[in-house]
Amino acid sequence: MASKVMKSVAKSMGVYQYPWQEKLMKHQDDLSKGVWGYWHLGAWKHCGISARHRARVRKEVLLAGEDWPYDPEWKEMRTKRKGHKCDRISAEKRANTAELMQKMPQMLADFKKRKWERKINEEDAEAKKT
C-alpha cells in the first residue's frame, strides 16, 4: 500500500517515469516483425503489446529523444481530389466536345467525300445493269 502511495506521489511530482526501456526491450522482437502483428507459419500473430501500450511506449521514447524505427511506412498521399461523379463526367464531355469541334471540318469533308463516292458507285452499278 505504501509503495502505491509513493508511486502516485512520485508521478504527481514528475519524478517517476514510465519504464519504457524495459518495455521496449521486452517487446522489441514483436515490434521489429510488425507494428500490428505478423504472419508466422501461415497464421496471424498479434503483437505482444497492445496498441494503447505501444503508443505509450512510443510517446515516451520520442519524448526521451530516442528514435522509434517501428512505425510502418506511410503510403503516398492522394493528390486527386474527390468530387461528384456528374461533375467529372460533364468536364470530360466538355473536353471531348472541344476536341471533336477542332476535328469537325475534316470530319465533314470526309463525310461529303464518302457520300459522293457512294453516289458514283451506285450510278456505275446502274450503268452496268443496263
Give the domain range for residue 120: 92-130
In this prediction, residue 35 has a pLDDT band, given cuts at 50, 70 and 90, of: confident
So what's the pLDDT on residue 100? Answer: 96
Does residue 42 sit within a domain? yes
Same domain, residue pair 17 and 59: yes
Does residue 17 sit within a domain? yes
Among 2, 82, 79, 66, smallest CA distance to 28 is for 66
Does residue 79 sit within a domain? no
Q: pLDDT tens for residues 6-23?
A: 555 555 555 555 677 777
Does residue 85 sit within a domain? no
Does residue 6 sit within a domain? no
So what's the pLDDT on residue 28? Answer: 79
Q: Structural domain tally of the chain?
A: 2
Kindly tell me if the per-residue pLDDT of 90 is higher than 80. Answer: yes
Same domain, residue pair 98 and 58: no
Question: What is the value of pTM for the model shown?
Answer: 0.43
The 3 state secondary structure assigned to 33-99 is: HCCCEEEECCEEEECCCCHHHHHHHHHHHHHCCCCCCCCCCCCCCCCCCCCCHHHHHHHHHHHHHHH
What's the average model confidence in pLDDT over 106-112?
A: 96
What's the average model confidence in pLDDT over 36-54?
A: 84
Does residue 123 sit within a domain? yes
Mean pLDDT of the chain: 82
Among residues of the chain, what percentage have pLDDT more than 70? 85
